[in-house]
A = this chain, B = another copy of it.
């Protein structure tokens, strides 16, 4: 059986603890979604495929009459996860509409347009930064070293973007947009 990129996300999530498809979706939405989103349309079919392949196993655990299946990693699933973790190749794909708009903002003709697009990027990253801080506050004790490290990464990076935007906005407002030579290292 061929494992897709998303298969490893499910294996990884289940390595943090057993859960239902619904649980996984909720977990994704407050963790990996910032660097790897997932929808129900992916999760449920993937759980079935992985169970059929013997990498995870589901146990029926209904709440009253409400059907519910809790999945957990099998030993084979754990091996598959660690094998994937051991491979070094890693790609980053980004689709950033805000940067795209900034990149093409010259078509607006005004330097005011540039500043607005930078501000839009800042507002968006400030919002995400706020979400990450809320997650941080809710995670003070729990969380593995790995997940805390990734949260720290997110906080640092979003902070960097916000700071860059503030500085760029200040420069643009000061009208220095024609000759900004880099002076620092």
Query: Which residues of chain B come closer than 8 Å to A144, judged between CB atoms?
Result: 106
Give the interface size class of chain A: 35 or more
A40 sits at the interface (CB 8 A): no
* Cβ B124 vs Cβ A149 within 8 A: no
**In residues 141-177 of chain A, which contact B (Cβ within 8 Å)?**
144-150, 152-153, 156-157, 160-161, 164, 168, 177
* Cβ A104 vs Cβ B157 within 8 A: no
Query: Which residues of chain B come closer than 8 Å to A120, judged between CB atoms?
Result: 88, 90
Rounded to whole Å, the gap between the CB of A6 and the closest CB of chain B is 10
Instruction: Render A20-49 as a binary contact track against B, CB cut-off 8 A, 1 for contact.
Output: 000000000001101111000000000000
Instruction: Render A123-139 as a binary contact track against B, CB cut-off 8 A, 1 for contact.
Output: 01000100000000000
Instruction: Render A80-113 as a binary contact track against B, CB cut-off 8 A, 1 for contact.
Output: 0110111011111111111111111111100101
